[in-house]
Amino acid sequence: MSHYAPILLVFLMASAIPAVVWYLSRLIRPNLPNAIKCSSYECGITTTTEAREKLSIRYYLVAVMFLVFDVETVFLMPWAIQMKELALFGLVEIGVFLFLLLLGYGYIWSKGALDWE
Amino acid sequence: MDVIKVAFFVLVFPGFLFQFVMAAALEWMDRKLYARMQNRVGPLYTGQSGFLQPVADLVKLFAKEDLTPAAADKFMFNLMPLVALAAVCASGLLVPLWPIKPFTSFPGDIIVDAYLLAIPSFALFLAGWFSSSPFSLIGASRVLTQLFAYEVPFFLALLTPAVIAGSWQITEIMAFRWWEGPWWSIALRMVGQTIAFGVAVTCLQAKLERVPFDAPEAETEVVAGPLTEYSGKKYGIFRLEKNILMYTGAALVAAVFLPSFPIGAILGGIWLIAKTLVVVAILSVIRASFARIRIDQIVVFSWKYLAPLSLLQFLVVLVLKAQQG
């Protein structure tokens, strides 16, 4: 665990720096908000549309594909770290794993999940 | 550990001040190159050849009034720029510029760095989402879709040098003696590394949301995407974050893909900065040579070209490792 203490320290320090920058700039800037300044941007006219609108189903499809293949890379990492210990056995196993993923990849490609028409 | 040393480390040298200077210098270089390639002169008046222009822009933004739209979620809207900047600053500390090894370098830091580099995109998505503006929301959904497209190839590309070197520590990957071994293994390493470098640079461009991958911030379609409602210091912090991201991302790619030599700490640091400049120059050339592509084209491009390419280079590395037994 002591290996990973620096990450926490680094992240805490890095969070403190922007916070300091944030409050320092308060010394030089004006602060006079009003209703018009604080309204949402809409090219100069009064806002008519709601912000929460329906999103294209394509976004969800991409998200699902991403999940599968991101888990793939997450699964590759422990193997790659233990590469020397697992030796040829691990290599064959990861080859089979990649082959199965390639089959799935070919399937989504042939089904047209990658085309947006 | 010596407290002053750590404070100096985090605040000055590879830490915030140095990152700030690098970010400003790289933005100046990027703007100058971009302008010259378009037959313009670029920044000219602030400092020598406009060198201080990025700093001047930032000071101007910080002196502006700080506004939060009434419709936005105040807490998240104000928090997101800080999260994004904190993540890139932390990732910048992992760039091995200086041999203060026990503090920044630990096994697996390349994975931590890759994840820290992914956080700004999520922060940008949340920033757009909590702005509660139609433009911001469309931009935010594009940010996330783009992340889904480029993240897998980027990770697979980063795996390659780590697997070749058999280590997950950036300093050890850099110390790997790539010129040793039989000729075929060097050739396979070169092939794998070259493809992976191409994929990683393309993904870095997408990560930075620069042309041709700037659909999330397309100013002719969605004003400024997730940053539409941001102004003043919050916009300034996002801008600073983008520039530091350009520096740390380019430094990571330069450190693990471009060749390193055992030439000592100081020369090694200078060599790494030189390599970083090369990567940023490549990014500028890409930005100057292409036009914006649509979000669906980005997704199709990364799933049909980048992902197979990154798998291909990974298979090359597998063959190499199988040969070495």
pLDDT at B171: 81
Q: How many domains does chain A have?
A: 1
Nearest residue, CB atoms, B82 vs list A18, A33, A55: A18
Q: Cβ separation of B322 and A29 shorter than 8 Å?
A: no
Q: Is residue B266 part of a domain?
A: yes
pLDDT in tens, B135-187: 888 888 888 888 888 888 898 888 888 888 877 888 888 878 777 778 888 88
Scan for tokens 């003043």, then name that residue. Answer: B232
| Helices and strands, number each (H, E), in chain A | 3, 0
pLDDT in tens, B62-75: 888 888 887 788 88
pLDDT at B281: 92
Largest CA distance in chain B: 66
The mean per-residue pLDDT over the stretch A35-44 comes to 73
What is the chain B residue with the closest CA to A56?
B141
pLDDT surpassing 60 at residue B33: yes
Written in H, E and C, the secondary structure of B198-261 is HHHHHHHHHHCCCCCCCHHHCHHHHCCHHHCCCCHHHHHHHHHHHHHHHHHHHHHHHHHHCCCC
Nearest residue, CB atoms, B300 vs list A51, A63, A115: A115
Domain span at residue A63? 2-110
pLDDT at B29: 92
Nearest residue, CB atoms, A38 vs list B67, B85, B321: B67
Q: Cβ separation of B163 and A80 shorter than 8 Å?
A: yes
Q: Is residue B268 part of a domain?
A: yes
- CATH at A26: 1.20.58
pLDDT surpassing 80 at residue B108: no
Q: Is residue A115 part of a domain?
A: no
pTM for the model stands at 0.87
Three-state secondary structure call for residue A42: coil
Q: Cβ separation of B299 and A3 shorter than 8 Å?
A: no
Q: Are B255 and B94 in contact (CB under 8 A)?
A: no
Domain span at residue B73? 67-324
The mean per-residue pLDDT over the stretch B280-302 comes to 88
pLDDT at B100: 53
* Interatomic CA distance for residues B54 and B23, integer angstroms: 9
A residues 50-79 lying closer than 8 A (beta carbon) to B: 50-53, 55, 58-59, 62-63, 65-66, 69-70, 72-73, 76-77
Confidence of residue B226 (pLDDT cuts 50, 70, 90): confident
Q: Which of B216-220, B257-261, B304-308 has the lowest mean pLDDT?
A: B216-220
- Chain A residues within an 8 Å CB radius of B86: 11, 14-15, 17-18
* Interatomic CA distance for residues B184 and B190, integer angstroms: 10
Start-to-end CA span in chain A (Å)? 50
> Closest Cα partner for A69 from B324, B311, B95?
B311
pLDDT in tens, A70-79: 888 788 877 7
Confidence of residue B283 (pLDDT cuts 50, 70, 90): very high
Q: Cβ separation of B86 and A37 shorter than 8 Å?
A: no
If you count them, how many residues does chain B have? 325
Give the residue ranges of DSSP H helices in chain B: 3-11, 16-37, 53-62, 74-93, 101-104, 109-131, 134-165, 170-175, 183-207, 219-222, 232-257, 265-289, 295-301, 307-324
pLDDT at A116: 72
pLDDT surpassing 70 at residue B274: yes
Q: Are B253 and B200 in contact (CB under 8 A)?
A: yes
Q: Is residue B54 part of a domain?
A: no
pLDDT surpassing 90 at residue B201: yes
Give the number of beta-carbon pairs within 8 Å between A and B. 176
Q: Cβ separation of B325 and A65 shorter than 8 Å?
A: no
Q: Are B139 and B227 in contact (CB under 8 A)?
A: yes
Q: Is residue A38 part of a domain?
A: yes
pLDDT surpassing 60 at residue B259: yes
Q: Are B229 and A41 in contact (CB under 8 A)?
A: yes
- Chain A residues within an 8 Å CB radius of B231: none
pLDDT at B156: 86
Mean pLDDT for all residues in chain A: 76
What distances in angstroms separate CA B245 from CA B54, B73, B121, B233, B323, one per listed residue? 15, 26, 11, 18, 37
Q: Which of A31-45, B114-128, B139-153 has the lowest mean pLDDT?
A: A31-45
Q: How many domains does chain B have?
A: 1
Confidence of residue B103 (pLDDT cuts 50, 70, 90): low
What is the chain B residue with the closest CA to A116?
B296
Kindly state the percentage of chain B with pLDDT values over 90. Answer: 13
pLDDT at B301: 87
What is the chain B residue with the closest CA to A63?
B148
ipTM, interface predicted TM-score of the complex: 0.76
Q: Is residue A61 part of a domain?
A: yes
Mean pLDDT for all residues in chain B: 84
pLDDT surpassing 90 at residue B282: yes
Higher pLDDT, A26 or B295: B295
pLDDT surpassing 70 at residue A89: yes
Higher pLDDT, B47 or B23: B23
Confidence of residue B319 (pLDDT cuts 50, 70, 90): confident
